Amino acid sequence: MIDFIRQFFLDLYEVAPRWNFIFFHDPVQWERVVEGFWVTLELSVACVIFSVLIGIVGAWAQGSPNRVLRAVVQGYIQFFRNTPPFVQLLFFYFALGQFTPTYSPDGWLEVPVITNVGWAIISLSFFAGAFNVEIFRSGIEAVPDSTKEAAEALGFNRLQTYIYIVFPLAFRVSLPALNNNLVNLVKTTTQALAIAVPELLYQFVGIWNDYPSAMYPSLTMVFLIYIGLVGILVFSMHRWEKAMRIPGYGL
């Protein structure tokens, strides 16, 4: 079967030199694609998890009675939501990267403790996290005051009310918007190309630079892989949304 696929794409290249699916008949290029896929997956999963955590904590802090904490969260949102993720990536990697601890294996090289993949995860998580805070805030505001008052009457404190009553309800309201933002986040991981993170697009750009005849096939593959990745994400989010429905709550 593998031989058949390889032969098919080799023949295709003979007939149409512009459609060189090199990664299907050259094992080295195939490895690059696989490697890129794993990095993209790693970036996506890590960023989704961290950005949701940032969103949850941020939304809670936004409702805090402490004015300083509220101001910090507001500042964070304004900064990360209103500047381009591309610029953030470059800034984090090149500017902040200088101030993080490094170690030196050979006396000259200064390998930062935070790698470029690390910076990409940090930067993209904070970027998407800023949106998530606002998304969760919209969910929290949708929870009626009377519900919170009822929780208070039962003796819950602010944190308990948030964890057991407000957030579970708010989360359900937030899911569709969260879904949107996470889809965006997975696509934004391609921008990590700017700081040479070897994710999917980086690998494909490398392939079509080495083999110009592989450009259209590479782009086609990028589309297909992202449609697949985002498809899986959207599918599981919808399943989750359904599973979390509270019958009769009207959500």
Partner 1 sequence: MKKVFMLSAAVLMASAGIATAAQCTNDTWNKVMSRGKMVVGVKADYKPWGFRDESGNLVGMEIDMAKAAAEAMGVDVELVPVQSSNRMQFLEQGKIDLMIATMSDRPDRRKIVGIVQPNYYTSGTNIMAPKALGLTKWEDLRGKPICGKQGAFYNKIVTERYGAKVIAFTGNAEAKQALRDKKCIAWVYDDSSIGSDLASGNWDDFEMPLSSEDDNPWGLAVPLAEKDCIFGNFMSGLSYNWLQNGQLIEWEKKWGIKPTSFLADKKERFKDWIE
Task: Write out the residues near partner 1 by the rule CB under 8 A.
Answer: 4, 8, 11-12, 15-19, 28, 90, 94, 97-98, 102, 106-112, 116, 193-196, 202, 205-206, 209-213, 215-216
- Least Å distance between CB 138 and partner 1? 36
Nearer to partner 1, 59 or 193 (CB): 193
Amino acid at 86: F
The nearer residue to partner 1, 100 or 138, going by C-beta atoms, is 100
Task: For partner 1, give the closer residue by CB, 61 or 205.
Answer: 205
Is the CB of 17 or the CB of 176 nearer to partner 1? 17
- Judging by beta carbons within 10 Å of its beta carbon (0-12, 13-18, 19+), is residue 6 exposed, middle or buried? middle
CB of 70 to partner 1, least distance (A): 36
Please state the closest distance from residue 23 (CB atom) to partner 1, in A: 14
Instruction: CB nearer to partner 1: give 74 or 115.
Output: 115
Closest distance of CB 169 from partner 1, Å: 45
Residue (108 or 249) nearer to partner 1, CB: 108
Closest listed residue to residue 228, CA positions, set 183, 180, 181: 183
Work out the burial of residue 170: count CB atoms within 10 Å of its CB; fewer than 13 is exposed, 13-18 middle, 19 or more buried.
buried
Nearby residues of 70 by Cβ (< 8 Å), 6 or more positions away: 61, 62, 64
* CB 128 to partner 1: min, Å: 22
Q: Compute the least distance from the CB of residue 116 to partner 1, in Å.
A: 8
| DSSP annotation string for 179-211 | HHHHHHHHHHGGGGGGGT---HHHHHHHHHHH-
CA distance 96 to 111: 14
* Phi/psi-derived region of residue 245, left when phi > 0, alpha when psi is between -120 and 50, beta in every other case: beta
In whole angstroms, the minimum distance from the beta carbon of 124 to partner 1 comes to 17
* Closest listed residue to residue 199, CA positions, set 46, 6, 49: 46
Contact criterion met (CB below 8 Å) for 55 and 129: yes
Strands (DSSP E) along the chain, which ranges? Answer: 102-103, 111-112
Nearer to partner 1, 114 or 183 (CB): 114
